[in-house]
Each structure stands twice: as C-alpha cells, then as structure tokens.
Amino acid sequence: MSEFEDKVVVVTGAAGALGSALVRYFAERGARIAQLDVIKLHNGHFSGTPDLTDAAACHAAVTAIGKELGPIHVLANIAGGFAMGEAVHETTAETWNFLMNLNAHTVLNMARAVVPVMLEQGGGRIINVGAGPGQHGVGRMGAYSASKSVVIRLTEAMADELKTKGINVNCVLPSIIDTERNRADMPDADFSRWVTPDAMAAVIGFLASDAATPIHGAALPVTGLS
C-alpha cells in the first residue's frame, strides 16, 4: 500500500500543467485530492474555486475540505505565474501587486489556513514553488524575482518555526517546465532539455513522502538540462 493511501492532499493551481500532473501523481498513489483553482474541475476529486489572494476565502476552502475529506496531510502550493515586467525604476503598482499576489500572497494565505490544521493533528508536509530568479535579480524581472524570493524566505521561516512540530516545509525551484504554453512562446528551444510536469510532480511527491522527513527549509533546484 502506498504511503499516500487515503491521505488528503491539497493542490493549488490544480488546473495548470504542473498542478494536473501532481493531481495524477497523488491520485495514482491512493490519496484523496482537493483541487483549488480559478475554474472548477470535474474529474472525480474535490474541486474548489477560492480566490487564493483572499485570506478568508482560503480559510473557507480549507474548512470545506476538512468537512468533506478530513484533515490535510499535504499542501502543495502550485498556484503562481510568470510575467516579464518593466525595469525596476519603471515598475508599476499593477505589475508589482499582480506578481506579489499571484506568487507570494497565495502561499501566505494557504499557510495561514492550513498550518493550524496540521498543528492540531500533529504533522504534515508543505511544498511551495519558488523559481531560480528568486535567488538573484534579473533585468526586467525585478517584481517576479522579488515575489519568488518571498516564497523562498517564507519557506525557510516556516520550516524553522514548524520543524519541531512534525511539519516539513520545503520548496522547489523549477527552471523552464515543458508545457504547451512554453513551447508556443519559445518554439525554437530544445524542449528535451526542459523539465516535464511529471518529473516535477515526482520531486514534489518525494518532498511529501516519509523519505523527506529530515529535510526542512530546502530550496531544491529542478532544472533538467536547461
């Protein structure tokens, strides 16, 4: 029997390429899946459409998951996105707030909603999605880099706060993921060098497993050959 059999796994951004791959990964291993995204998914798993940038909506979604599926064992914060921006000195409030809300506030709000549940039950796993540019600034990606840096710093802080309470918090730092959107945006690239969604899902699955019990606050690069 898989160690994820009947465990409750929450996946935000579940409609995207990586989110849907992760849903498949855990479903194949017997988990009960709660999918959160902007659209309702009809594939036999719990599906919710909360605004993840709204703390109250996240709390309501977690409450609903608890009533229908039970306590949450794994939270995979996949929701997020990328956008090029202006030079830092030209960055608009719209660009800054969009990327901070999409990448950072979604993680913070889900942590506020889920961590108390995990503390009450005595443990859990949280995996966030950062990015390589979160480790260093890149021209015309200042707002994006800053938002993903927040994800990494939140991961490290949460790990330090929760590691003695049975909760592991780590993040992955993907490079380019092999998706239809990325192929369309970069048609001349060598797609074989990119990380597939299924490969990313397997890494996240490892961080959710018992084998990752000693790992706290890691920011794990998953770059394939790119």
The predicted structure's pLDDT at residue 192: 95
CATH number of the domain to which 124 belongs: 3.40.50.720
Torsion of CA 56, 58, 64, 66, to 10 degrees: -120
- CB count within 10 Å of CB 82 equals 16
Q: Is residue 153 part of a domain?
A: yes
Q: Is residue 3 part of a domain?
A: no
Residue 226's pLDDT band (boundaries 50, 70, 90)? confident
The predicted structure's pLDDT at residue 13: 98
Task: Count the domains in the chain.
Answer: 1
The predicted structure's pLDDT at residue 197: 97
Q: Is residue 1 part of a domain?
A: no
- CB count within 10 Å of CB 216 equals 18
Q: Is residue 2 part of a domain?
A: no
**DSSP H helices in 80-141:** 93-99, 106-121
Under 8 Å between Cβ of 144 and 82 = yes
The predicted structure's pLDDT at residue 173: 98
Residue 61's pLDDT band (boundaries 50, 70, 90)? very high
Under 8 Å between Cβ of 57 and 51 = yes
The predicted structure's pLDDT at residue 203: 98
The predicted structure's pLDDT at residue 18: 98
The predicted structure's pLDDT at residue 158: 99
The predicted structure's pLDDT at residue 154: 98
Q: Is residue 66 part of a domain?
A: yes
Per the listing, tokens 């192929």 go with 183
The predicted structure's pLDDT at residue 189: 96
The predicted structure's pLDDT at residue 78: 98
Q: Is residue 41 part of a domain?
A: yes
* Structural domain for 157, as ranges: 8-222
Whole-angstrom distance, CA of residue 125 vs CA of residue 193: 29
The predicted structure's pLDDT at residue 1: 79
Whole-angstrom distance, CA of residue 127 vs CA of residue 92: 30
Is residue 171 helix, strand or coil?
strand
pLDDT above 90 for 190: yes
Least confident interval from 21-25, 75-79, 104-108, 182-186: 182-186
- Give the residue among 216, 217, 174, 182 at the shortest CA–CA distance from 199: 174
Q: Between the CA of residue 25 and those of 43, 107, 158, 178, 202, what are the distances in Å?
A: 14, 21, 25, 17, 7
Beta strands in the chain (DSSP E): 8-12, 32-36, 46-48, 74-77, 124-129, 167-174, 219-222
128-169 pLDDT tens trace: 999 999 999 999 999 999 999 999 999 999 999 999 999 999
- Give the residue among 108, 37, 115 at the shortest CA–CA distance from 71: 115
In this structure, the chain runs to a length of: 226
- CB count within 10 Å of CB 160 equals 12
Under 8 Å between Cβ of 218 and 170 = yes
As a whole-number percent, the residues of the chain with pLDDT over 90 amount to: 98
